[in-house]
Structure 1
Amino acid sequence: MTISTPTPVPSSSPDSLEADLLARVPSQLFIGGDWVDARAGATLDVHDPATGLVIKTIADARAEDGLAALDAAVAAADEWAETAPRARGEILRGAFDLLQERREDFALLMTLEMGKPLAEARGEVTYGGEFLRWFSEEAVRIGGRYGRNPEGTGSMIVSERPVGPAFLITPWNFPLAMATRKIAPALAAGCTAVVKPASLTPLTTLLLASLLEEAGLPKGVLNVFTTSTTSAVSDPIIADPRLRKLSFTGSTGVGQQLIRQSAQNVLRISMELGGNAPFVVFEDADLDKAVEGALAAKFRNIGQACTAANRFIVHTSVASEFATRLSARVSAFRMGRGTEEGVTVGPLINDAAVTKVDALVTDAVSRGATVRTGGHPVDGDGSFYEATVITGVTAGSDILREEIFGPVLSIVEFSDEDEAVRLANDTEYGLVSYVFTESLARGQRMIDRLDTGMMGLNVGVLSNAAAPFGGVKQSGLGREGGSEGIREYLSTKYTLIPNA
């Protein structure tokens, strides 16, 4: 594996394109249509994970700032709910168009604050932008129904209305797409929103808020606060009876706590939580397709995705060839700062992530697994871990139970279909699965037998704005994207009109 030396932090090169972009990113809170400082005057630093150095200092909200954001969302709620669906959709479409014009800015910003290679960041701009476009179209398709009741005594009207002010909590790994995937359906449905991006990667959301402002979004419809004290600021918002919707993407443990908190006011909730995705390769699989799918499913976003394949379950007859091909490809990866030409693996988000990944690999090796390539943290600046392939992973290894969230591909073997299904389903999670087989009948059986909310059949990437994203079991509740996504922000009302 080729490892390059990260270039200096952008702030050390004031004339660079990076420094110019960072200067244009807002550093304040966006509340009630205004950019304001945190009332306590606190600030937090945002770091480049490739160097560990500070790239920007921004406002650090406290509880009173969060409640001010909710106040603004509540004040704007009725007018926004009554805004014509076409008008809401046109604002979202305008934001989509602006995003296309500034795609390089957003891609570079994500690379700077999160670390992913620039080519992948450009892909996220495309993916994240599609939620703005898709839900701009869904805004005018909010429906209902009308008809006589079965008894013939009257007519039934079923209508859909916005649920009300929403609190949207987004993760650090996809700073643009996770924001647009929540913001777009909320605004399309007629809900106002308060958004809390992750403190590790808040800059992209701040830039997105300024873009939506430019697209004509009325004051107070969208409010964004950044904070290093998440619970202290979020808890009063969730406890406030004016809030009607909570959407969260993140770990299952935090999601469980938020579900408990949301029960106090019986909030509508959407939870996109952890994953432990199986990637099943049957003996009849096209190995060329399977290898390409594995590389995409595992190493996209440096393995830091809830949809990342975690457990590669490969038939004994093809396991050796599959591992050999993968190891050759992975060993050729180039690691470095994501802005550098040819880099395919960037840094993990921070040193804690490196420590976790290394502990999982160390545990697997101590139980008999073999490292085929990689397997070590990288010394020097930044939070780097080598892209890794390990084989012979044994039952009981931590790496089979815990979400890796890093560039490590672990392989276990199976001998028949029933064993593959048992291994794949042996987890409390159920977000996504991947299956590679040339048998249509087997593929159809896997659709029914694997306990996941999504499945990729002979593909390694399946997310799409037009499709419902979400899982079962401890991977969450609700769906984002598709026609299903806007329903999470709508409440159903039934009215009976008696016969005249």
Structure 2
Amino acid sequence: MGSFCMLTRTRCVLRQVLLGPYTAMERTYSLDVSARLLRTEGFVDGRWISAASTFPVSDPATGEELAKVADCGPTEAKLAVDAAYKAFYIWKRYTAKERSALLRKWFDLMTLHKEDLAKLITFESGKPMRESLGEIGYSAAFVEWFSEEARRMYGDIVPSPAKDRKILLLKQPVGVASIITPWNFPSAMITRKVGAALAAGCTVVVKPAEDTPLSALALAELSAEAGIPAGVFNVVPCSREKTPSVGEVLCTDPLVQKVSFTGSTATGKILLKHAAGTVKRVSMELGGNAPFIVFDSADVDKAVAGAMNSKFRNSGQTCVCANRFLVQSGIYDRFTEKLGQAMDAELRLGHGSEPTTTQGPLINVNAAKKVMHQISDAVSQGAKVLRGGKRLEGSFMQPTLLADVTTDMLCTQEETFGPLVPVIRFNTEEEALAIANACHMGLAGYFFSQDISQIWRVAEALEVGMVGVNEGLLSTVESCFGGVKQSGLGSEGSKYGIKEYLDIKYMCFGGLTP
């Protein structure tokens, strides 16, 4: 066990910044969590393992180092795959009821330790504490949901065309699953995948994002405390430098039968190529560039509230957050004015542990530079800055509202992953749909309208996997989550999520006496 695991506190310093009049003061922020949940080593075959080297995990709000974590490489990844493969032949023999009970215990432990788990998210990703608590509730809910779905993996008895045969369709776990997750939801993106995999009878090897491994390791500790057998849930943290080699092992090893990835489309394409060599099952939840359309018939106040919820959650760092705002000419000025007022009234920048903070830092300085590049590009082509527009200390970005945006600007062509609202004016429904669908991504889309006919037309016409109608927040464990076009393959959550980890076996029982 690494020496840092025995510590319960680490002290960080941040020059606090607030939206509105700029203020600065020295503050000290402390990560104070249970020692047993602050893990810094890999978790393989039920044991904590070290690696030849470590990599730092830092608080993005302060730049201060939180921990040094084992930098697992291909050797540790292979050990984890082998452990998962061995455990699979034990875990798949557990009854659905037994797997359900263990997942429920894991859910109970996550709920019991929600404060500590939320603190880990806030300090390693920068997310405001109230959002981190929300993520832990969401994360635990996937474990609860799939603990229940474990007992509903029904097969089929199909009427046979022959009198001396019976046709049975059996559902069986695919085997070892590699789970590769992002930093923006470091707990929920794990449980949405792992909950389904374990419920189905699969075993997993998780590679968390290099920015946020502490959340994954805490989940591993709680899974062991819940009684989930050794080797069923493995975690191999690694640095950015070792990510390609570890990812290659997890996507090419012949003992792995399934790869589930959430992240960028560019990385997803690389992993798909790796997985193709051994024809693995894959699930891909990739990038988005969500349109947010406000029609003249919309309730403007509700549209503004929806925009605030959709855009500024996690400082705009979600794959389903609104990225391109299309507002019809009749209400364009009223919408932008009210949205600017809401931004002034509701958004406060600061360290995520501060109770008044609604906007934490972006994950790193490069993320902030990307947002600034999009702003500069838009302004150079005639966009007007109505709010914000500046990068502050470190990776803090002012929430920014741009008017007079056109489709030629980078902020409408690229996924931003930051607190930027570019507003495009349109005149007709057909024009809005043409702009919204002129994109190779198709994850989520939103629109606001009180015209029933228009609601049905637009919902069916939007080329996305998820549609929010008069609603800016649409994620829930009960519904499927996934996109079309280059936004991914497969669905997560809902009753369909577990199907991604199951094979259907046809059994023909012949020679029966008619």
Task: Give TM class, smaller chain.
Answer: over 0.9
Tell me the CA shift for residue 6 of structure 1: 7.4
Tell me, in whole angstroms, the C-alpha distance in 1 between the residues paired with 2:307 and 2:283. 29
- Does 1:327 pair with 2:328? no
Q: Deviations over 1:185-228 (max 9, x none)?
A: 00000000000000001110100110111011000001001001
Q: Deviations over 1:282-341 (max 9, x none)?
A: 100011110000001100011000001000011010011000001111133210111112
Tell me, in whole angstroms, the C-alpha distance in 2 between the residues paired with 1:33 and 1:25. 16
Tell me the CA shift for residue 91 of structure 1: 1.0
Secondary structure of the residue that 1:171 maps to in structure 2? coil
Tell me the CA shift for residue 497 of structure 1: 1.2
Tell me the CA shift for residue 22 of structure 1: 6.7
| Residue in structure 1 matched with residue 188 of structure 2 by the alignment | 177
Q: How does 1:56-75 map to 2 (within 5 A)?
A: 56-75=67-86
Tell me, in whole angstroms, the C-alpha distance in 1 between the residues paired with 2:317 and 2:136. 17
Instruction: Evaluate the alpha carbon distance shift between residue 20 and residue 151 of structure 1 in structure 2; reply closer, same or farther with a 3 A threshold.
Output: closer
Instruction: Evaluate the alpha carbon distance shift between residue 222 and residue 7 of structure 1 in structure 2; reply closer, same or farther with a 3 A threshold.
Output: farther
Q: How does 1:111-190 map to 2 (within 5 A)?
A: 111-190=122-201
Tell me the CA shift for residue 24 of structure 1: 4.1
Q: Deviations over 1:71-114 (max 9, x none)?
A: 10011011101111111111111111111111111111111000
| Residue in structure 2 matched with residue 395 of structure 1 by the alignment | 407
Tell me the CA shift for residue 9 of structure 1: 5.8
Tell me, in whole angstroms, the C-alpha distance in 2 between the residues paired with 1:8 and 1:19. 16
| Residue in structure 2 matched with residue 275 of structure 1 by the alignment | 288
Of residues 355, 358, 361 in structure 2, which corresponds to 1:347? Answer: 361
Instruction: Evaluate the alpha carbon distance shift between residue 6 and residue 197 of structure 1 in structure 2; reply closer, same or farther with a 3 A threshold.
Output: farther
Tell me, in whole angstroms, the C-alpha distance in 2 between the residues paired with 1:463 and 1:7. 37
Task: Point out the more displaced range, 346-355 or 334-343.
Answer: 334-343
Tell me, in whole angstroms, the C-alpha distance in 2 between the residues paired with 1:152 and 1:337. 71
Instruction: Evaluate the alpha carbon distance shift between residue 204 and residue 8 of structure 1 in structure 2; reply closer, same or farther with a 3 A threshold.
Output: farther
Instruction: Evaluate the alpha carbon distance shift between residue 421 and residue 152 of structure 1 in structure 2; reply closer, same or farther with a 3 A threshold.
Output: farther
Decide whether the 8 Å contact of 2:158 with 2:169 is kept in 1. no
- Does 1:299 pair with 2:276? no
Of residues 104, 113, 118 in structure 2, which corresponds to 1:107? Answer: 118
| Residue in structure 2 matched with residue 489 of structure 1 by the alignment | 501
- Does 1:225 pair with 2:236? yes
Decide whether the 8 Å contact of 1:182 with 1:247 is kept in 2. yes
Tell me, in whole angstroms, the C-alpha distance in 1 between the residues paired with 2:465 and 2:35. 38
Tell me, in whole angstroms, the C-alpha distance in 2 between the residues paired with 1:119 and 1:444. 35
| Residue in structure 2 matched with residue 288 of structure 1 by the alignment | 301
Tell me the CA shift for residue 236 of structure 1: 2.2
* Amino acid aligned to 1:217: I
| Residue in structure 2 matched with residue 449 of structure 1 by the alignment | 461
Tell me, in whole angstroms, the C-alpha distance in 2 between the residues paired with 1:96 and 1:307. 25
- Does 1:336 pair with 2:336? no
Q: Deviations over 1:154-213 (max 9, x none)?
A: 211001000000000000000111011111000000000000000001110100110111
* Amino acid aligned to 2:111: Q
Q: How does 1:399-418 map to 2 (within 5 A)?
A: 399-418=411-430
Tell me, in whole angstroms, the C-alpha distance in 1 between the residues paired with 2:498 and 2:25. 42
Q: Deviations over 1:33-82 (max 9, x none)?
A: 001111xx200100000001101111000110000000100110111011
Tell me, in whole angstroms, the C-alpha distance in 2 between the residues paired with 1:153 and 1:421. 56
Tell me, in whole angstroms, the C-alpha distance in 2 between the residues paired with 1:192 and 1:117. 32
Q: Deviations over 1:436-486 (max 9, x none)?
A: 001122111112100000000100000011110000000000000000000
Give 5+ residue unaligned stretches, structure 1: 11-15
Tell me, in whole angstroms, the C-alpha distance in 1 between the residues paired with 2:250 and 2:309. 38
Of residues 55, 63, 79 in structure 2, which corresponds to 1:52? Answer: 63
Tell me, in whole angstroms, the C-alpha distance in 2 between the residues paired with 1:147 and 1:20. 54
Give 5+ residue unaligned stretches, structure 2: 1-18
Decide whether the 8 Å contact of 2:33 with 2:119 is kept in 1. no
| Residue in structure 2 matched with residue 26 of structure 1 by the alignment | 39
Tell me, in whole angstroms, the C-alpha distance in 2 between the residues paired with 1:154 and 1:338. 63
Tell me the CA shift for residue 8 of structure 1: 4.9
* Amino acid aligned to 2:386: R
* Amino acid aligned to 2:411: I
Give % identity.
44
Secondary structure of the residue that 2:277 maps to in structure 1? helix
* Amino acid aligned to 1:364: A
| Residue in structure 2 matched with residue 13 of structure 1 by the alignment | none
Q: CA RMSD in A?
A: 1.3
Instruction: Evaluate the alpha carbon distance shift between residue 5 and residue 349 of structure 1 in structure 2; reply closer, same or farther with a 3 A threshold.
Output: farther
TM-score by length of 1: 0.96
Tell me, in whole angstroms, the C-alpha distance in 2 between the residues paired with 1:208 and 1:179. 9
Instruction: Evaluate the alpha carbon distance shift between residue 47 and residue 159 of structure 1 in structure 2; reply closer, same or farther with a 3 A threshold.
Output: same
Secondary structure of the residue that 1:82 maps to in structure 2? coil
Q: Deviations over 1:344-401 (max 9, x none)?
A: 11100000000001001110111110010001100x3x31000011011012101111
Tell me, in whole angstroms, the C-alpha distance in 2 between the residues paired with 1:4 and 1:307. 32
Decide whether the 8 Å contact of 2:37 with 2:221 is kept in 1. no
Instruction: Evaluate the alpha carbon distance shift between residue 71 and residue 280 of structure 1 in structure 2; reply closer, same or farther with a 3 A threshold.
Output: same
Tell me the CA shift for residue 150 of structure 1: 2.9
Tell me, in whole angstroms, the C-alpha distance in 2 between the residues paired with 1:490 and 1:101. 31
Alignment: residue pair count: 490
Q: How does 1:180-259 map to 2 (within 5 A)?
A: 180-228=191-239, 229-259=242-272
Tell me the CA shift for residue 5 of structure 1: 4.4
* Amino acid aligned to 2:246: V
Tell me, in whole angstroms, the C-alpha distance in 2 between the residues paired with 1:157 and 1:369. 62
| Residue in structure 1 matched with residue 324 of structure 2 by the alignment | 311
Instruction: Evaluate the alpha carbon distance shift between residue 108 and residue 20 of structure 1 in structure 2; reply closer, same or farther with a 3 A threshold.
Output: closer
Q: Deviations over 1:394-441 (max 9, x none)?
A: 121011110000000110011111111101101000000001001122
Tell me the CA shift for residue 129 of structure 1: 1.0
Decide whether the 8 Å contact of 2:36 with 2:221 is kept in 1. no
